[in-house]
Amino acid sequence: MRYLSLALLLAFVLAFVVGCAEQPPEEAKCPKCGSVLDADGKCPKCDAEPAAVEPPAVEPPAVEPPAVEPPAEKPAAK
């Protein structure tokens, strides 16, 4: 029974490897536009577009810590 299990496992692994080897490799695609990349890995569409001018980074306003008020004094008991 053990040898039968190993033989079946080997058959499935070989079928998977042979099936994967017959498929042509996928062409690399641009993550932005989805077009096929050149041999050097650059996108012909995105490289042809003029680079967009990025707006300057906006810094958030400085946050000042809240003012700490001294505790209120209790009136003295008479």
Q: Which of 65, 70, 62, 35 lies closest to 49, judged by CA?
A: 35
Phi, psi at residue 21, to the nearest 5°? -70, -25
Sign of CA dihedral 29, 34, 36, 39: negative
Q: Is 57 inside a domain boundary?
A: no
Q: Is 25 inside a domain boundary?
A: yes
Q: Is 76 inside a domain boundary?
A: no
pLDDT of residue 8: 92
**pTM score, whole prediction:** 0.30
Of the chain, the percentage scoring pLDDT greater than 90 comes to 6
Query: How many domains is the chain partitioned into structurally?
Result: 1
Q: Across the chain, how many H-helices and E-strands are there?
A: 2, 0
Q: Is 45 inside a domain boundary?
A: yes
Q: What six digits make up the tokens of 24?
A: 């042509």
Q: Is 66 inside a domain boundary?
A: no
Q: Is 23 inside a domain boundary?
A: yes
